[in-house]
A and B are shown apart, each in its own frame.
Chain A
Amino acid sequence: MKDGALLQVENLTKAFPLGRSLADALRGRPQRALQALGGVSLSVNRGETLGVVGESGCGKSTLARCLVRLYEPDCGAVRFEGKDVLGLTGEARRSYHRRVQMVFQDPYASLNPRLSVGDALAEALTVHRIVEPSATRDRVGALLDLVHLPRDAADRYPHEFSGGQRQRVGIARALAVEPSVIIADEPVSALDVSVQAQVVNLFLELQDRLGLSLVFITHDLRLVRHVSHRLAVMYLGKVVETGDTEAVFTAPRHPYTRALIAAVPQVDPHQRSTREAVRGELPSPIAPPPGCPFHPRCPIAEPRCRTEVPALDRRHGGWPVACHLAGAPST
């Protein structure tokens, strides 16, 4: 947690209560809950891309939605430029929304089908009074230029575009309010592989031109290596390892990270591995295992892993990792 981080998350927890049967209620059993986030801490610096990776169901999307306040976290803090944002209301909350925007996973669901692209972009400009009303059309054109869409796209409706083009519209809409941070929740996983690269490169280009900070959430490790400066690996609602992307990829310290990296398919047949990367399934977040959440699947688990929860800290130097058995970084 460096000082001067633009966006800082501390010990964020979020549980979704599940329905309780009448029988359980009568027996006085506590209401069950799905623990989506179990104390996540991370930080994003100015102009940097933080990649967040993990399997489906590890809480990546919940984290994204907590950051933009679509969900209210149960505990913990989200600080933007040092100020807590979770208590913000009214005007202060709106100005936070201006600074931190989101790009959604499904470009077919994230655009209002009844608004033309121009109207959708103009709306963001008007509500936040980004430009004078007379300059709205010009600014809409400039936003379309920025995401490499033709200017006449403004008069067309979302259903007239392909998935990749729609995602560009979604990006332009997020950029309309001139944010400092963009949270991208699996922004390319719904797109064709051929289009993914274009959209990913657009993110990198925009970051370069506008000095944006990006939180890039994905389950694709090759992608995360390509886009992110730093990396946070999530497992069952917790960050298990976070550090410089290249360093982590070169010498992962957490057994889960090692397994994930080993599971990346290799194009070169000589490097293909038939070794099973991660055993078993992700445990249920309704009843997470005691101790280290990864111990049931861990190849090197020891008795204390079953009882003692490892904290995320810099053991023996290097970057933070949540594993009792992590040695000193090998590089």
Chain B
Amino acid sequence: MTAVALAWRRAPVSLVAGVVILAALAVCALAPGLIAPYDPLAFDYGALLQPPSAPHPFGTDQFGRDILSRTIAAATVDLQIAIFATLGPLVIGAIVGLLVGYYGGLADAVFGRLVDLVVTFPFLVLVIAIVAVLGPGLSNMYIAIGVVGWVFYARLMRAEVMVLRGQDYVSAAKVLGYPERRILLRHILPNAARPILVYWMTDMALAILLGSSLGYLGLGAQPPTAEWGVLIADGKNFFSQAWWITVFPGAAIVLCGMGFSLFGDGLADLMDVRR
């Protein structure tokens, strides 16, 4: 208990803010039914395109669906995108970067060319191309982002590991005759993890934007599923009369991105051992 209290007091402000925002979004994502005042998919022809008001704080869309409820319900899909689209690249990138950075040699040369190949194409264009081949939908979108995204994690990890492998404490571990697996996992990985974890947080925010972009293009989540990008796309035709359909899901994306960024910043501070 005291340990938790102490950790909380030492935690950077940005970490606390990030945790609060993400926790609120997580509650929305896990139990949208408890918070949302209406069914996000229910039509109400008596209340079409209503501006924000007491019964509908975020207004309603062209079918009378409550925007607040739809924005809350969309958190489920969007947080899922944030996690599923980035977890694979994180793990694969970390492993590849660790091995390539430590051993170098031919594997490193091959990896370098692979990075060049991927970086040559604009990220979004490559993902759109892959989704177009595999077919629209969330799971194909995860695959598409994963195929391209791990390269960025691996590159980051490789650079960090290449610096660390020359450190004296790694030399000391070698002189002490420690097995390579132990050197990699206990002496290099924990010290190389900070940049990649911070990037992961930013990448989750980017994944939501990407998911929303693909949703907007009709390649990600399919209507009538509530997803922030889809909601914005829905609202674009009514933007001059009903700005609230677009603005509130947009604000949710901004808030979520901020939550991840703040959490990432705080995490970076917390992981700095020389603080």
Contacts and interface: CB of A to CB of B under 8 A. Distances in A.
Contacts, number: 64
B237 interface: no
B172 interface: yes
Interface in A73-111: 93-94, 96-98, 101-102, 104-106, 109-111
Size band of the A side of the interface?
Answer: 20 to 34
B174 interface: yes
Contacts of A110: 168-169, 171-172
Interface string B2-15: 00000000000000
A327 interface: no
A112 B191 contact: yes
Contacts of A96: 177
B117 interface: no
B236 interface: no
Interface residues of B, number: 19
A70 interface: yes
Given A113-B191, A177-B176, A159 B273 contact: yes
A78 to B, nearest CB: 14
A101 B176 contact: yes
A70 B174 contact: yes
B175 A102 contact: yes
Contact of A157 (B173, B190, B273): B273
A143 B182 CA distance: 23
A124 interface: yes
Interface in B77-119: none
A70 B274 contact: no
B176 A114 contact: no
B220 to A, nearest CB: 39
Given A106-B168, A109-B167, A159-B274, A114 B190 contact: yes
B273 A98 contact: no
Contact of B176 (A105, A113, A124, A159): A124
A60 interface: no
B194 to A, nearest CB: 10
A112 B176 contact: no
Interface in A173-191: 173, 177
Given A112-B187, A112-B191, A157-B273, A97 B175 contact: yes
Given A112-B187, A114-B190, A157-B273, A97 B176 contact: yes
B239 interface: no
Contacts of B178: 123, 127
A177 B177 CA distance: 10
Contacts of B171: 65, 70, 102, 104, 110
Interface string A135-171: 0000000000000000000000101000000000010
14 contacts: A94-B177, A97-B176, A98-B177, A101-B175, A102-B172, A104-B168, A104-B172, A110-B168, A112-B169, A113-B274, A115-B186, A115-B187, A127-B176, A177-B176
Q: Which 5 A-B pairs have the closest CB atoms?
A: A97-B177, A110-B168, A94-B177, A109-B168, A112-B169
